[in-house]
Amino acid sequence: MSPSRNRAAWLGSLLLAASAVAYSSAGFYTRLIEVDAWTLLFWRGLFGGLFLVGMVAVRERGRVVPAVRAIGRDGLLIALCSALATVCYLNAFRLSTVADVMVIDATIPFVTAGLAWLILGEREDKITLLATFAALAGVAVMAGPAIAGGRLLGDLLAFAMAVLMSLVLVLIRRNPGVSMIPAVALSAFLCSLIVLPFAQPLSVSAENFGLLVLFGVSQFGLGLLLLALGTPLVSATRGALIGTLQTPLGVLWVWLAFSEAPGAATLIGGLVVMAAVVADVVLPRRRRHALATDGD
């Protein structure tokens, strides 16, 4: 790997790790905000989308319309898949066990690896694949004590979410020269539009409204922004692997903020996930397979 590509991979990994940190705050906010799930999703999507539109305006400086047009059909598909994945994720938690959803969510790197190979011809190296297996094992350990006979529909929705998010990562990776921030901004607004018939936006108190602004901007908007910036710089599978950090980190924030101490299995599994991601980033390898369009 050339020095410039190595620097780009490091930057991408850092951006995606920061994205995982942002996403991992979801449990923290949902403990604080006392509104129903649909209303929560509506305001989160709206404020996240407004934040991302602001970022597009700042980055493009008067070229917002060309930037939106540049996302093309892949960008529209990214927006649709991302929005649907969010809705599937919420309903999976309603119809299945949290443990089932966590384990299925951890399969995203494997699904991403398969789609990246089929769509991009991108083959992942052994270190990343082994790290992905280790991360999945870590999540399974975390969820193990809670696994009980989940429900089929909920599990199917969780798997649909995994496929949709994997497709988002692959499509962003397929367009490394195009900023997909407008696409993820559109996905945030689509989330709000999809859940609006079930939400009660005007029922929110002033205190909860302020928290919803923070939730939409710092968790959803910032998470999507960093995801859009970091994904083109690393392999699709590594991007998905780094995303698994949000599971143990989410447990950590709730533990620190609300004294909800995790069990031994959660701690052990979380450490395995973190170790797997760190190992993938820092271990040397001869070369990393890149897209054919990148050149060697």
Q: What is the pLDDT along the chain (296 residues), one digit of tens a residue?
A: 567 778 888 899 999 999 999 998 988 888 889 898 889 999 999 999 999 999 999 988 878 899 999 999 999 999 999 999 988 887 777 776 666 677 777 788 888 888 888 888 888 778 888 888 888 888 878 766 655 555 678 778 888 988 999 999 999 999 989 999 999 999 999 999 999 999 999 999 999 999 999 999 999 999 999 999 999 999 888 888 898 888 888 888 888 888 877 778 778 888 888 898 888 888 875 544 444 344 43
Task: Identify whether 254 is part of a domain.
Answer: no
Residue 259 lies in a domain: no
Position 272 in a domain: no
Angle at 204 between CA 198 and CA 207, to 5 degrees: 150
- 135 within domain boundaries: no
Domain assignment of residue 289, yes or no: no
Rounded CA separation 232/178 (Å): 9
So what's the pLDDT on residue 1? 58
Classify residue 202: in a domain, yes or no: yes
Tell me the torsion sign for CA atoms 140, 109, 95, 221. Answer: positive
The answer to whether residue 282 is domain-embedded is no
Q: How far apart are CA 101 and CA 27, in angstroms?
A: 15
Q: Given this model, what pLDDT does residue 217 score?
A: 96
Q: Let me know if residue 271 belongs to a domain.
A: no
Count CB neighbours of 293 within 10 A.
9
Q: Which domain holds residue 82?
A: 3-108+116-122+145-235
Q: Specify the number of domains making up the chain.
A: 1
